Amino acid sequence: MDKSTTKVRGDESPFKGKTGLQRIWNAFVFSLHGLASAFRHEEAFRQEVLLAAILIPTALFLDVGGLGKAMMIASVVLVLIVELLNSAIEAAVDRISFDQHRLSKRAKDIGSAAVFLSFLNVAVVWGLILLEKL
């Protein structure tokens, strides 16, 4: 079956048909909208952006090697990524229902645990790299 005769199924996004540079541009714009939305609506994300604004320059100015700097920065960026995913999970769960449900609680708790582990990762990475300099 050629492309001209295929139809988009009812459960697929009509935006999936974009290709090439248009798809890349759309993904970039949607990503900016997602970052802006998270910053506007998620207090935790704003706090973590502030923390990143402090820790990333600090990592760049510390007397550690390039790999150490990269690991320190990556661990901080990972917190932001995990927080975005956690916020997306929470928004999707809340979109379905505000009613308390054990599965909704489980989804939100697991997302929170992922953020916690990403913070633990920052502490371990930064701690190990800084201890090496002592």
Distance between CA atoms of residues 38 and 68, nearest Å: 29
Select which of 48, 83, 90, 132 is catalytic.
83
* CB neighbour list of residue 85: distance below 8 Å, 6 or more residues apart: 111, 114
Angle between helices 20-41 and 43-61 (to 10 degrees): 110
Q: Is 83 a catalytic residue?
A: yes
Q: How far apart are CA 101 and CA 120, in angstroms?
A: 28
Active site residues: 83
